[in-house]
Copies of this chain bind each other. A is one copy, B any other.
Amino acid sequence: MDVQDLLEKLLRGDVPALARAISIVENERPGFETLLSGAHRHLGRARRIGITGPPGAGKSTLTERLVTAWRSRGVTVAVVAVDPTSPFTGGALLGDRIRMEAVALDRGVYIRSMASRGSLGGLATSTREVCDLLDAFGFDRILVETVGVGQSELDIARMADSTMLVVVPEGGDGIQALKSGVMEAADLLVVNKADRPGADRMRKELEGALQIRRGNAGIRVTAHHGSLLKVQGPPPGADDEGWQPPVLPTSAVKGEGIAEVVDALDRHWDALTAGGELVARRRRRVHAMTREVADRALRRWLWQESDADARLIARVDEVMTGRTSPYELAAELVDGFRQASI
């Protein structure tokens, strides 16, 4: 099928076209960038919400409850469940997908699992691209749920408009959350399983930590790339002025506290749009995204369109025996590539 044709069907709300487009993008099949480029002009309607937190915190159940709550308000939702560790097994989230079958019969809900398949751009990039398709399709909310709280999960969470950190009372999660610094990325904190002992202590710990964070806001590092600050509108920490991340107790299993989370997400959206922070976040996303797409093009050029990998494989033994080093060999490969591109 023609990519332009597929895009038009997707924009008209054709679900099989959406599924097909996602598969093309996820597997970086021919035309995937044309598809995404075309979708770009139809973005911006969906609110993107990232859900992160340690394994076992109940993120999937919370996601299911949020979906139900939005549906009862007439809001359409796409869920992207991401498992950065599943290149090993594949389809690791199938269980979650099956569990959500009830809502999956609803046309206003779309659920998709993503796993790293060694894509050239990495999982965070693929996930963001799938979200772009869902946004262009017309979903009101896109929930991105990740397993764990590692760097990959944070990269994914940071693409969202609102990022939610879910923890549970037991297991020293409070301290771990502080330690790993994920709190810095959270716009909302949820203490799930709040009927368990220690929930109140956890909430207080988190609120205390948020105060420390506010105290540090002025000296907080807001971006990885030095140049990024140049494209930011407001100064570092500006998002802290208008928005104080709330700590919300929930019991996702019992359906308690869900309405409060939905309300807090709406309030955060209002704060984002009122304060100009939404534009600032989306500028940062565009900047990072364009760099990623360029990096991927560069890698594709080197490894797929040149003979660099064949030359590397032929010379691995020289590195093994110490006749050359990976650095000398890599420099030779890149130099040869630069020469050849003349």
Contacts and interface: CB of A to CB of B under 8 A. Distances in A.
Contact of A227 (B87, B95, B149, B309): B309
A138 interface: no
Contacts of A64: none
A238 interface: no
Q: Which of A55, A151, A295 has the largest count of B CB atoms less than 10 A from its CB? A: A151
B85 A181 contact: yes
B330 A293 contact: yes
A248 interface: no
Nearest to A284: B316
A225 B329 CA distance: 19
A262 interface: no
A312 B286 CA distance: 10
Contacts of A106: none
Contacts of A246: none
10 contacts: A40-B325, A87-B181, A87-B224, A147-B179, A171-B171, A286-B319, A294-B308, A294-B312, A294-B333, A297-B331
Interface of A: 33-34, 36-38, 40-41, 54-56, 83-90, 92-93, 95, 116, 118, 123, 147-154, 171-173, 176, 179-185, 221, 224-225, 227, 230-231, 279, 282-283, 286-287, 289-291, 293-295, 297-299, 301-303, 308-309, 312-313, 316, 319-320, 322, 325-331, 333-334, 338, 341-342
